[in-house]
Amino acid sequence: MAVSIAVRSSLHGLRAVLFFAALHISVAAAEGTTKGADFVRVVPDQLHQLEVVKVESHAFLDQRSAIGQIAFNEDASTPVLTPFSGRVTRVIAKVGDQVRRGDPLLEIDSPEQVPPQNEFIAAQGARNKAISQLNLAQIVEKRTRDLYEGKAAPFKDLQQAEAQLAAARNDMRSTETAFEAARIRLRILGRSDEEISELEQKGTISRVTRITAPIDGTVISRKVGPGQHVKSDSAEALYVIADVSTMWLKAQIFEQDIAFVRIGQEIEAKVAAAPNRTFTTRIANIGSASDLTTRRVMVRSEIDNPGGVLKSEMFATFKIGIAEPSVTPAVPVDAVIREGDLATVWVEAEPTLFKRRVVEIGVQQNGLTQIRRGLAAGERVISRGAIFVDNEWRQ
């Protein structure tokens, strides 16, 4: 009998537990989210998971995207060739060196250096001789004129002295021209003014000469080594020097977008080496031909490169502003739910009631999505937590 009473007591306890559990579940269901065809109502405790923001107007740039690369500024770079043939005896500058105009790059032993120096010395001798003859002619002319004015010499002697002075002056001009031409030729062949002055003073001929940097910049290429024979008629540069304080941005634009691109439009570039920086400049040149393989047109800009962050051949992404900014409603990127070509947002109708609305979106800029149709400034939408609400609605 006692066992039967205990069993009945246990059954009553179990029924009580099940009743209270069912009651708790029904209350939770009553207090949970409710949903309809286009709305979701959340409970107040769920609001802390959501961030509701006000739709603001924002000026969006009409941009076209492109890819391309960084390149050396060809207007500030130059190849270094040799004006004569010979054998390299010494290589001075290395790739990466910073050089100034006139700094030595390499030395070459060339027999072609001998004739120009001989011509210079010969022209110098002819000029010195002409100077002596001019001085003598001036003395003779003055003495003869004094004698003629003192009635001590005939007029024909004065005429002869004047003719000799004029001839000496002509010879002087000719030898000066030849001497200066010989000096210029030595400069073209790579002789510095100091070397030419030393040759003029000492007359010592040297077969070895230095090739110097024609501009300030960085040595970006070297294709010559010690002992190598170089030729003056070779098209291959011994060195290439570039001023890397400015670089070229080369953007490849799709053919269908090139009609919207104009010189002077703003262009933004990003590179992986500086992910947090945006390099801004303006278009300086638009290519006149499309690449047959990629069907793209090259658009070029020039930009300052402080610190040398930009390197040649770096891959870059570009955005080109093709029109004036347009002011439209904007929402945070995470407020927009995308499903294929469909875009929706959850709009606050009441403090806990949110309605699903289809919108037409545009570009994304600065963490905002452009709303072209479907929302008005001043409305409130879910930003953080929009995915959570959308999932609740779909379940």
- Give which of 393, 308, 310, 313 is closest to 353, Cα–Cα: 393
Residues 339, 379, single domain; the answer is yes
Cβ(80)–Cβ(241) under 8 Å? yes
What is the Cα 46 distance to its own chain's centre?
51
Residues 143, 69, single domain; the answer is no
Confirm whether 221 is domain-assigned.
no
pLDDT at residue 68 greater than cutoff 50 = yes
Residues 249, 202, single domain; the answer is no
User: What's the structural domain count of the chain?
Assistant: 3
pLDDT 10s digits, 114-146: 888 999 999 999 999 999 999 999 999 999 998
Residues 180, 144, single domain; the answer is yes
Confirm whether 149 is domain-assigned.
yes
Confirm whether 363 is domain-assigned.
yes
Average pLDDT of the residues in 23-36: 50
Residues 278, 312, single domain; the answer is yes
Residues 201, 148, single domain; the answer is yes
Q: What percent of the chain has pLDDT over 70?
A: 91
- Model confidence at 61, pLDDT cuts 50, 70, 90, reads confident
List the structure tokens of 281.
Answer: 């400049």
Residues 278, 359, single domain; the answer is no
Residues 287, 338, single domain; the answer is no
pLDDT at residue 4 greater than cutoff 70 = no
Cβ(382)–Cβ(370) under 8 Å? no
Tell me, what CATH number does 292's domain have?
A: 2.40.30.170
**Of 180, 206, 232, which one is at a domain's C-terminal end?**
206
pLDDT at residue 29 greater than cutoff 90 = no
What is the Cα 150 distance to its own chain's centre?
81
Confirm whether 235 is domain-assigned.
no
Least confident of 9-23, 39-53, 118-132, 184-198: 9-23
Positive/negative CA dihedral, 131, 137, 138, 139: positive
Question: Rounded distance, CA 312 to CA 248, Å?
Answer: 9
The pLDDT assigned to 251 comes to: 93
- Model confidence at 284, pLDDT cuts 50, 70, 90, reads very high
- C-alpha angle 104-311-80 in degrees, rounded to nearest 5: 25
Confirm whether 137 is domain-assigned.
yes
Backbone angles phi, psi at 228, to 5 degrees: -75, 140
Provide the 10 A C-beta neighbour count for residue 269: 27
Average pLDDT, the chain: 86
Cβ(332)–Cβ(383) under 8 Å? yes
* CA distance readout (Å), 8 to 17, 18, 264, 293: 15, 16, 92, 88
The pLDDT assigned to 158 comes to: 87
Residues 135, 198, single domain; the answer is yes
The residue segments making up the domain with residue 122 are 112-206
Task: Provide the residue type at 67 as one letter.
Answer: I
Question: Rounded distance, CA 166 to CA 141, Å?
Answer: 10
Highest mean pLDDT among 56-60, 125-129, 306-310: 125-129
**Of 267, 297, 321, which one is at a domain's C-terminal end?**
321
Q: Residue by residue, what is the 3-state secondary structure of 346-381?
A: EEEEECCEEEEEEEEEEEEECCEEEEEECCCCCCEE
Tell me, what CATH number does 55's domain have?
A: 2.40.420.20
User: Which of the pair, 262 or 60, is modelled with greater confidence?
Assistant: 262
List the structure tokens of 13.
Answer: 């306890």
Confirm whether 119 is domain-assigned.
yes
Residues 116, 202, single domain; the answer is yes
Highest mean pLDDT among 62-71, 216-225, 254-263, 360-369: 216-225
Confirm whether 92 is domain-assigned.
no
Residues 121, 179, single domain; the answer is yes
pTM more than 0.85: no
pLDDT at residue 345 greater than cutoff 90 = yes
Q: Give me the torsion for CA of 381, 386, 389, 390, rounded to 10°.
A: 110
**Of 321, 345, 363, which one is at a domain's C-terminal end?**
321
Residues 317, 357, single domain; the answer is no
Confirm whether 296 is domain-assigned.
yes
Average pLDDT of the residues in 15-41: 53
